[in-house]
Chains A and B, each alone.
Chain A
Amino acid sequence: MGERETVYEGLKRQGVSRRGFFQLSSLLAAFLSLPKSDGTRQLGLGEFKPKPSLVRQVRKALESKPRVPVIWLEFQDCAGCTESISRSLSPTLSNLVLNTLDIEYQETLMAAAGFQAEGAKQAAMEKYAGQYLLVVEGSVTTKDGGVYCTIGGKANDALLREAAAGAAAIVAVGNCAAFGGIPAAAPAPTEGVGVDQIITDKPVINLPGCPGIPEVYTNTVVHYLVFGALPELDELKRPKAFYGVAIHDRCLRRPFYDAGKFANVFDDEGYRKGYCLYKLGCKGPTTYNACASMRWMNGLSFPIQSGHPCLGCSQPNFWDGGGFYQGQSAPLDRPDALVIGAAAGAGLALGAAAAAANRVQKKRARSESEESGG
């Protein structure tokens, strides 16, 4: 690893002092001050005093480890996750963190295009085989041989498999790459699926959201960088550190929920008073993400705080979850009036038949007892 620049060297080259580097290490360690098992610690900038030993660990890692090569593939996506990560409003943190990455291939951001870009990707994959981080954005389509998403004439699933073969770790950013997202929503003409439906032999880490919170992306990568391993994941392969707590359980409007104070209609009196948005369809109770604690725009706000019910965008199938304004508790599927009418009709008909059969029995019983002189 001697010939590759370490993170510290890269930072020094950009003019960051030794002291600044110490500060960065502390900050990063704060993000990583998480118990390893349950991910229920609240995340907030500067809220926790990390253990000195952890700060040292982070510093040592950044001093000695080289920057991580990243191959960033986009398939059926809107590039929103790319926008998110690069729109981060904490230049000190994100840009510096991004400087720990060595992005070899990123369609949206890189200058090169066409054969040049594809060539750069092949070269990087060969040079850093077994070391690079594969980040995937957008869902994958295999329908009709994958023709609905091709790059340079190659189908997206083939490209994914090729890239995954030499990856040290695979990160699916955004709901599309994690669970299929928009392309998987009804009627799903291309039948988009998440990365882990294609890559089944290697661990995939999901960082869903639509888009995901930038600090979630960057800090997951930092975790990988510092500890050399993926963080603890839940059953949907999301880091428990960021997805271990439901929005509902950290939401600032929760007291209103408990007190039964709701906004019934947008802009009604309750809404203007900032009451709970549960009746407007908030999916907070079943949505796991860091929005209510870390929040967006460097901790500025998040949808509920700004007055819109949570969409549940870090959960699978949130597009088809009954609708953004339907209650979280409501069923996801229900029979329509015609089917209900048919069921009732069938029931009534069968019941009438049963009653008729029973009446025949009664008649027979009467005639039997009359015969026997009953």
Chain B
Amino acid sequence: MLATQEALNQFVEETGGWIASQLEACTRCGMCTEACHFYLTSGNPAYSPVWKMELLRRAYEGRFTVSGRLKLALGIEKPISQSDLEAWRTIDYEACTLCNRCSLVCPMGIDLGSLIHGVRGALAAAGEVPDDLEQATQKQIEDGSPLGVDLDAWRDRIDWIQDEWDIELPIDVQGADTMAVFTSIELMKFPSNFAYIAKIMEAAGESWTISSKGREVVNFGLFEGNTEHTVLFLKRIFDAAQELGVKRVMVTECGHAYEALRWTSFNLMQVPAGLEVTHIAGVLGEFVEQGRIQLKPGAMDDGTITFHDACKIQRKGGHIKEPRMILNILAPESFVEMTPNKEEGICCGGGGGVISIKEADQKRFDAFELKIDQMNQIGAQRVAMVCSNCRLQFADCVQHFGLDWKIYGLSQMVAESLAGDGDAGGVQPAKEG
């Protein structure tokens, strides 16, 4: 079947009342444009969110409405072509992080992020996915990780981490309460996260484990927009959870994985009954509130520090209060919010798979300039976040722009500021990567 036909079929298949009513609600007012960091930093009108979902609109109107069919028949509108698919491949994969800031600004409240994701689905069905992304997905299918870390490599790396930080990680512990699922980004780029989180769990007295089967919570099927792959990767986690008989799955510092596991999985597949899905941000908040861990007040109070809201953990994840509660304890004098912040926060520019696509590099560097502006505005050079993809983007851009910033993970800050430690922070951070 022709790629365009595949795409069209996917559009038709996935469009129900939920999508249709929102497409009908769009008035072409263009306000979404002003919220998109890719548009704001490039001035390219093709990057406006409403344009990114244009293919979906054309498919919907052309197949499901009388006027749309008429326009196609009369030649006023053109059917979706191969070159359309290629053009939208660029703007939807390279110039969109699915951050969904646009949906906040839309006067009609349309969920543009989901609609653009729908376009990605059709592009994926047509095989129009950027090569880098496709290759990474293949690696995840075959090796279990987009970075190609297969089971053996994983075991080696885990051994190294345990050795380097002198900790023992609970692996495949049957009947533990919480199963922590990490990303291979953390594994390879921020391995100290394992140590930090292990320390916190121990301090909180949590019964927890990591899983060899559920070793990768990153979900490149979600980035692709391919439901089959998404479910495949989700299943690995849920199967592991079921096999180990855990009560809840805790996503560590990753954004889209939380979206996949917590907010999407239940509508795509059968999730083991009674299994809770949560995020480290929520768990940290829980531990602090319940007094299971004690933080040293003011431990991070040396220089203005701010918090970067991750799109999938704050705006689309709801864990807005917890990081702030923690920062207000750790840096009451120095914590300053960026503007805008919380659910209106600006995307780092690296999410949604963008950071894995080489062709998108310049776009995400441009987008990052907004973050630089934000930091400069409050005079901050220290920033905390709870998503390791954001952290990767920040680290990469700090290097690219030659900035003098310090970037902290939330788990890192908590682990290094636990009260009851002899010295300030009992974990020596090794060199990243």
Interface residues of A, Cβ cutoff 8 Å to B: 354, 358, 361-362, 365-366, 368-369, 372, 374
Contacts and interface: CB of A to CB of B under 8 A. Distances in A.
Contacts of A372: 1, 6
Interface in B7-28: 8-10, 12-13, 15-16
Contact of A366 (B8, B13, B63, B64): B13
B76 interface: no
Nearest to B12: A365
Given A354-B66, A369-B125, A374-B125, A362 B10 contact: no
A362 B125 contact: no
A358 B64 CA distance: 6
A366 B13 CA distance: 6
14 contacts: A354-B66, A358-B64, A361-B64, A362-B16, A365-B8, A368-B9, A369-B9, A369-B10, A369-B125, A372-B1, A372-B6, A374-B9, A374-B10, A374-B125
Nearest to A366: B13
B6 A374 contact: yes
A100 B13 CA distance: 89
A354 B61 CA distance: 13
A354 B69 CA distance: 13
A361 B63 CA distance: 8
Nearest to A369: B9
Nearest to B65: A354
A369 B10 CA distance: 8
Max count, chain B CB within 10 A of own CB: residue among A358, A361, A365, A368: A365
Pick from B10, B13, B66 the residue with the most CB of A within 10 Å. Answer: B13
Nearest to B60: A358
Contacts of B8: 365
A358 B9 contact: no
A260 B63 CA distance: 51
Contact of A362 (B6, B13, B66): B13
A374 B229 CA distance: 12
B415 to A, nearest CB: 46
A361 B9 CA distance: 9
Contacts of B12: 361-362, 365
B15 A362 contact: yes
Contacts of B66: 354
Main secondary structure of the interface of A (DSSP, over half): helix
Given A362-B12, A362-B13, A374-B125, A368 B63 contact: no
Contacts of B125: 369, 374
A78 B308 CA distance: 87
A366 B16 CA distance: 13
Given A361-B12, A362-B12, A362-B13, A369 B6 contact: yes
B232 to A, nearest CB: 15
Contacts of A354: 64, 66
B10 to A, nearest CB: 7
Contacts of A365: 8-10, 12-13
B63 A369 contact: no
A374 B15 CA distance: 16
Contacts of A362: 12-13, 15-16
The 7 A-B residue pairs with the shortest CB-CB distance in the complex, in nearest-first order? A365-B12, A365-B9, A365-B13, A358-B64, A369-B9, A372-B1, A366-B13
Nearest to A374: B125
Contacts of A374: 6, 9-10, 125
Nearest to A358: B64
B321 to A, nearest CB: 41
Nearest to B63: A361
Contacts of B16: 362
A369 B13 contact: yes
B7 to A, nearest CB: 10
Given A368-B1, A372-B1, A358 B10 contact: no
A369 B1 CA distance: 9
A365 B8 CA distance: 8
B16 to A, nearest CB: 8
A348 to B, nearest CB: 15
A372 B13 CA distance: 14
Contacts of A366: 9, 13
Contacts of A358: 63-64
B314 to A, nearest CB: 35
A364 to B, nearest CB: 8
A352 to B, nearest CB: 13
Interface string B62-106: 011010000000000000000000000000000000000000000
A366 B9 CA distance: 7
A367 to B, nearest CB: 10
A55 B9 CA distance: 89
Given A368-B9, A369-B10, 19 more contacts: A354-B64, A354-B66, A358-B63, A358-B64, A361-B12, A362-B13, A362-B15, A365-B8, A365-B9, A365-B10, A366-B9, A366-B13, A369-B9, A369-B125, A372-B6, A374-B6, A374-B9, A374-B10, A374-B125
A369 B12 CA distance: 11
A361, A366, A374 interface centre (most CB from chain B within 10 Å): A374
A189 B64 CA distance: 51
